[in-house]
């Protein structure tokens, strides 16, 4: 039986953990006792994570993939408001009050996103000057600053896409596709310009010319634009060449890699595993 609900819960995705010591690096002074936490530990039978802390719940699973971890957390969460998390962030001291104040300010909000800092103290990116997310601003959202009212997501069948995210069919765009689904469902999504954490500067989405990203971008282009996705790929490869991210002699090979992502996505559509 699921424990009684709490106002706020942090949903952490991690892998192959066997003790809770990693939590100490995520919270000021190593103190996580004041937060309700659910950990999804993707692991094997030899490395099981157990919690004796009353505020920390753990689910060990052999399932793989970041979107699978996020969705398992949402389905098992007890927080009225939840914040998704990775295991490499450092939260600010007044985290919960910042998050919950956002929902007091915007009581109709289903999703609220926040800001994060780089390790040097600078903002992670230039954030849009918006209050309510629109079809442009949601594309700038980082995965670890997304909070939501869990029950409303479940009622509207809005979850993380099982084929987009680290460890999934297409390795990336986890938060982009999630926020796109939020917007398509017309759920109120707001942006609060308050920093809630520090995150390492390197992002899995920054290697613009990699085969992994080209494969992902091809699939994503077809998902968003249909047949026009092929033209989008050509324009994107031209962008990579023009900005000297890749050499011109590799342009055809990179486009071919992106087209293979489109092919795989179309296969998922044909089998019914995916719908646009």
What's residue 17's pLDDT? 94
Asked if residues 17 and 43 have their Cβ atoms less than 8 Å apart, the reply is yes
Phi-psi region of 121 (alpha: psi -120 to 50; beta: other; left: phi over 0): left
- Of 198, 222, 249, the one marking the end of a domain is 198
Locate tokens 């109120």: which residue? 188
Examine residue 14 and state whether it is found in any structural domain, yes or no: yes
User: Which pLDDT does position 58 carry in this prediction?
Assistant: 96
Domain boundary among 198, 220, 250: 198
User: What's residue 2's pLDDT?
Assistant: 61
pLDDT (average), residues 66-85: 96
Q: Is residue 60 part of a domain?
A: yes
CB atoms inside a 10 Å sphere around CB 16: 11
Cβ proximity of 143 and 84 under 8 Å: yes
Task: Average the pLDDT over 183-201 and give the result.
Answer: 94
Mean pLDDT of the chain: 92
Q: Residue 12 falls within a domain, yes or no?
A: yes
In this structure, the answer to whether residues 170 and 105 fall within a common structural domain is: yes
Instruction: Say yes or no to pLDDT of 9 above 90.
Output: yes
State yes or no: pLDDT of 112 exceeds 90.
Answer: yes
Q: How far is CA 208 from the centre of its chain?
A: 18
The span from the CA of 241 to the CA of 104, in Å, is: 47
Residues 187 and 265 placed together within one structural domain of the fold: no
What does the alpha-carbon distance between residue 12 and residue 17 come to, in Å, rounded to a whole number? Answer: 12
pLDDT of residue 86: 93
Q: Are 225 and 145 in contact (CB under 8 A)?
A: no
Does the pLDDT value for residue 275 go beyond 80?
no
Q: Where does the pLDDT of residue 79 fall: very low under 50, low under 70, confident under 90, or very high at 90 and above?
A: very high
The domain in which residue 163 lies consists of: 6-198
Please check whether residues 168 and 223 belong to one and the same domain. no
CATH number assigned to the domain comprising residue 128:
3.90.550.10
Residue 104 and residue 43 share a domain: yes
**Domain-embedded: residue 276:** no
pLDDT given for residue 159 in this prediction: 94
Is the pLDDT at 1 greater than 70? The verdict is no
Q: Where is the domain boundary, 167, 198, 229? A: 198
The answer to whether the beta carbons of residues 15 and 88 sit under 8 Å apart is no
Looking at the structure, tell me whether residues 229 and 193 fall in a common domain: no
Instruction: Answer yes or no: is 162 within a domain.
Output: yes
Whether residue 206 is contained in a domain is answered as no
User: What's the pLDDT at 273?
Assistant: 78
64 and 114 both lie in a single domain: yes
Instruction: Examine the domain organization and report whether 13 and 107 are in the same domain.
Output: yes
Residues 10 and 130 in one domain: yes
The predicted structure's pLDDT at residue 204: 44
Residue range 71-75: mean pLDDT, rounded: 97
Mark whether 167 and 242 lie in a shared domain. Answer: no
With respect to residue 186, please indicate whether it lies within any of the assigned structural domains: yes
213: exposed, middle or buried (C-beta count within 10 Å: 0-12, 13-18, 19+)?
Answer: buried
User: Residue 227 gets which letter from DSSP?
Assistant: G
Give the pLDDT band (50/70/90) at residue 208: confident
pLDDT band at 259 (very low <50, low <70, confident <90, very high): very high
Contact 63, 165 (CB under 8 A): no
Using 50, 70 and 90 to split pLDDT, how confident is the model at 276?
Answer: low
- Pair 188, 247 in one domain: no
- The pTM of this model reads 0.89
Looking at the fold, whether 72 and 34 belong to one and the same domain comes out as: yes
205 pLDDT tier (thresholds 50, 70, 90)? very low
Residue 205 lies in a domain: no
Q: What is the pLDDT of residues 115-159, one digit of tens each?
A: 999 999 899 999 999 999 999 999 999 999 999 999 999 999 999
Number of domains into which the chain is organized: 2
Q: Indicate if 168 and 228 belong to the same structural domain.
A: no
């Amino acid at each position: 039986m699921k424990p009684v609900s709490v106002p706020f819960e942090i949903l952490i995705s991690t892998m192959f953990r066997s003790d809770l010591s990693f939590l100490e690096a995520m919270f000021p002074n190593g103190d996580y006792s004041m937060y309700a936490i659910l950990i999804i530990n993707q692991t094997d039978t030899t490395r099981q994570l157990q919690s004796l802390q009353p505020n920390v719940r753990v689910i060990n699973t052999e399932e793989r993939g970041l979107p699978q971890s996020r969705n398992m957390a949402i389905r098992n969460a007890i927080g009225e408001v939840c914040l998704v998390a990775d295991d490499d962030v450092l939260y600010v001291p007044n985290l919960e009050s910042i998050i919950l104040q956002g929902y007091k300010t915007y009581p109709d909000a289903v999703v609220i996103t926040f800001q994060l800092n780089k390790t040097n103290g600078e903002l992670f990116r230039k954030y849009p000057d918006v209050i309510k997310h629109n079809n442009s601003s949601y594309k700038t959202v980082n995965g670890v600053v997304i909070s939501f009212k869990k029950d409303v997501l479940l009622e509207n069948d809005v979850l993380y896409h099982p084929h987009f995210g680290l460890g999934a069919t297409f390795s990336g765009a986890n938060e982009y596709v999630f926020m796109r689904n939020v917007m398509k469902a017309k759920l109120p999504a707001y942006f609060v310009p308050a920093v809630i954490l520090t995150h390492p500067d390197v992002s899995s989405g920054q290697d613009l010319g990699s085969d992994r990203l080209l494969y992902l971008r091809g699939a994503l282009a077809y998902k968003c634009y249909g047949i026009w996705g092929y033209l989008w790929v050509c324009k994107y490869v031209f962008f990579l060449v023009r900005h000297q991210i890749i050499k011109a002699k590799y342009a055809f090979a990179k486009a071919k890699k992106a087209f293979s992502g489109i092919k795989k996505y179309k296969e998922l559509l044909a089998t019914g595993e995916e719908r646009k």
